[in-house]
Amino acid sequence: MNVLECTEVTKRFGGVVALDGVSFTVQEAEIVGLVGPNGSGKTTLLSCIAGSLRATSGSIDFRGAEITRATPNRRARAGIARTFQVPKPLGSFTVVENVATAFMFGRDKLSRIEGLKRGLRVLQEVGLQAHADREVSALTLHERKFLEIARALALDPQLILLDEVLGGLNPSEAAEGMALIGSLRERGVSVVYIEHNVQAVASLADRMYVLNQGRNLAEGSAQEVLADPAVIAAYLGGDVDA
Ligand code: ADP
Ligand code: MG
């Protein structure tokens, strides 16, 4: 069953057509990789799914219900969580408070004590428990990226949208991050995974989509997509970190 179904999604910013009739599906417990050259519309598609942007036309269905025009809050309550390319933590809060807020102000409306308890459990899952009481501003980039994932997980999502969560990390940190993303599938969560490093996406994704200039360019297994002459041509110019 499709958890997410985007049909002919178009997004215009004035004269700029960021997405031009993009179709995109995600199944249960599936990791779908989303790649494409810079400016191809990846982040815009994620924003249209999460609701921070509204599609100009086309439709988006989540678990069988149309959400094309739903507010971001309604989509979050329905089970869609996202991370941002540039992490957006609550800077004056501690690490565990950042996660606890999702429990206190999200679907569950837990007390502060209960929220902190649950927050600590999520930090354990992403390996940040030792940093629970630190100020977020003291975290390294790597730790902030993992905190982004923890904050998304705290919403107990059915679908998690990851936008370049491993960008800027060293190889061992990135490997840790990839193991964490792989483990989401085992929890039954579906993942849309955007990463500049196409090889990283290929190694994790059950299926991949390639966007180019706001349009669907290719879709299929990592092997199929990476061997596609149209994909290779789109990446010529050295944008791909292969
Ligand atoms: P990607 O994530 O694949 O690098 P984006 O989705 O960020 O690409 O951008 C797709 C296109 O839409 C680009 O041409 C970009 O300049 C344009 N774009 C994205 N967001 C906005 C915006 N808020 N206003 C105007 N143009 C935008
Ligand atoms: Mg982007």
d(CA 74, CA 53): 14
Largest CA distance in the chain: 55
In a domain, 135, yes or no: no
Is residue 167 within 6 Å of ligand 1 at its C-beta? Answer: no
The answer to whether 32 and 5 have CB atoms below 8 angstroms apart is: no
Between the CA of residue 72 and those of 54, 91, 187, 229, what are the distances in Å? 10, 22, 24, 37
DSSP structure string for 13-49: ETTEEEEEEEEEEEETT-EEEEE-STTSSHHHHHHHH
In a domain, 128, yes or no: no
Rounded to the nearest angstrom, the distance between the alpha carbon of 18 and the centre of ligand 1 is: 6
**For 183-193, what is the mean pLDDT?**
92
Express each pLDDT in 46-101 by its tens digit. 999 999 999 999 999 999 999 999 999 899 989 999 987 665 666 678 999 999 98
Q: Give how many domains the chain has, as a whole number.
A: 1
Is residue 212 within 6 Å of ligand 1 at its C-beta? Answer: no
In a domain, 213, yes or no: yes
In a domain, 193, yes or no: yes
The CATH number given to whatever domain includes residue 6 is 3.40.50.300
Rounded to the nearest angstrom, the distance between the alpha carbon of 38 and the centre of ligand 1 is: 9
Express each pLDDT in 196-210 by its tens digit. 889 999 999 999 999
In a domain, 124, yes or no: no
**Which mutation among 9, 10, 16 tests ligand 1's pocket best, with the greatest number of atoms within 8 A of CB?**
16
Which residue type sits at 88?
A: K
Structure confidence at residue 205 (pLDDT):
97
In a domain, 27, yes or no: yes
In a domain, 141, yes or no: no
d(CA 56, CA 172): 40
pLDDT at 177 over 50: yes
Query: Residue 30 belongs to what domain range?
Result: 2-85+151-165+172-236
Residue 6 is given by DSSP the state E
Express each pLDDT in 9-27 by its tens digit. 999 999 999 999 999 999 9
DSSP structure string for 104-132: HHSSS---HHHHHHHHHHHHHHHT-GGGT
The model carries a pTM of: 0.91
Is residue 42 within 6 Å of ligand 1 at its C-beta? Answer: yes
* Apex 24 CA angle, 106 and 72, nearest 5: 25
The answer to whether 100 and 119 have CB atoms below 8 angstroms apart is: yes
Rounded to the nearest angstrom, the distance between the alpha carbon of 130 and the centre of ligand 2 is: 31
Is residue 39 within 6 Å of ligand 1 at its C-beta? Answer: yes
pLDDT at 120 over 70: yes
In a domain, 21, yes or no: yes
Is residue 36 within 6 Å of ligand 1 at its C-beta? Answer: yes
